[in-house]
Every structure is written in C-alpha cells, then in structure tokens.
Amino acid sequence: MPDSPVLYVLNGPNLNLLGVREPEIYGRETLDDVWALCERAAGGARVVFHQTNHEGVLIDQVHEAREKADVLVINPAGYGHTSVALLDALKTLTIPIVECHLSNPAARERFRHRSYVSPVAAGVVSGFGPLSYELAIKAALGLLQERGGTTGRSV
C-alpha cells in the first residue's frame, strides 16, 4: 500500500457549472471550491479529482479507479438516475464506494428518487451542499480504515 491512500472523487455532468447553474439548489460554490474542500477533508490521502459531462469518460474514470484508487467518492449527477453502464462499471470495483450529492434527490423530482449507483455504494451522503463531499470523504476513508487500510485494487 502506498504511504497515503489514493482517493478518487468523480463528478458527473453539469457539475462544471456549479456556482452558476441553479444556485438556489446547488449553491454558489464552484467546482474548484469543492475540489479545495475535498483536498482539505482528505487529510493525508492523495485526491484524484475528475469531472466530465460524458458518460463514457466517467466510466473510463471508474475503470482507472479500479486499478489506482483505494477508495471512491462519486457524484454521478444525472447519470446516477439513468446509467446502467455506470452501475456495471462500479460493480467491478472492490474498493469502498460512497455516493455523494449536493442536493437531496429524494426531496426533488420523482425521476431523481432512483439511483443506479446506490446498490453498489456503501452509503449515500446528500443534501448538505458542498459539505456532502466532506462527509462522503470522511466516511469513505473511515471504511478504508475499517478494512485495515488495505487496498481492494484489482492490479
């Protein structure tokens, strides 16, 4: 195991527009602000932070995490409600996965109530704005520590 755990934080579509897209729902913080929060919350863990608007790229990032990450936090955004392909990619991981959302999908439109990510996630943190990321990171790293800090990487 490396000196410090490797934490992947993956972000789905439209999260690049944080701060300007529906700030009444998602807040005024930018994705760069969220990234900085993740770095602080991770303590000594190395953070690999990605955002994409493309489903196939997000799946490629999950595949990369399969080989390089010790733990994964994912905000799948809209793909969480639509992508069986993302679910299938996440099923290949043996590392802890925590699903994260800025808003509370259960309190929003009906189509947002179903998540294809939740069945493979150890837990879901939602509804706390950017604090959701901090809580998700702490939970994910806690799960890794419970495993004795051992990696589940498939390499």
Q: Which residues are catalytic?
A: 26, 101
Q: Are 18 and 26 in contact (CB under 8 A)?
A: yes
CA distances from 96 to 11, 25, 51, 106 (A): 16, 28, 19, 23
Q: Read off the DSSP letter of residue 118.
A: G
Q: How many helices (H) and strands (E) does the chain have?
A: 5, 5
